[in-house]
Amino acid sequence: VNSKIHDIFKGWSLQPLDPDGRVKIWVYGVSGGAFLIMIFLVFTSYLVCKKPKPHQSTPPQQKPLTLAYDGDLDM
């Protein structure tokens, strides 16, 4: 059964299987790293693509502008 699996990976320069047919430890590391990168990409795309929240705060109320009349005729 394992001979078919070994035949598939025979031409590869990186051998993911031991001679006894077990998966080498670096394959688990690469798989875990790829999984973490995928989670990071999904989280990052969520943050980039989500809609921004509308501002709930009300702007400060403005006072009406009062003009002082000093009695000049040019006004």
> Per-residue pLDDT tens for 4-25?
766 776 776 778 888 888 889 9
Tell me if 9 sits within 8 A of 17, measured CB to CB. yes
State how far the Cα of 41 lies from the Cα of 46, in Å rounded to an integer. 8
Does the structure show a pLDDT above 80 at 26? yes
Token pair 């590391």: residue: 29
Residue type for position 38: M
> Per-residue pLDDT tens for 43-66?
999 999 988 877 777 777 888 777
DSSP H or E run through 33: helix 25-49
Q: Which tokens is 16 given?
A: 């993911």
State how far the Cα of 24 lies from the Cα of 15, in Å rounded to an integer. 8
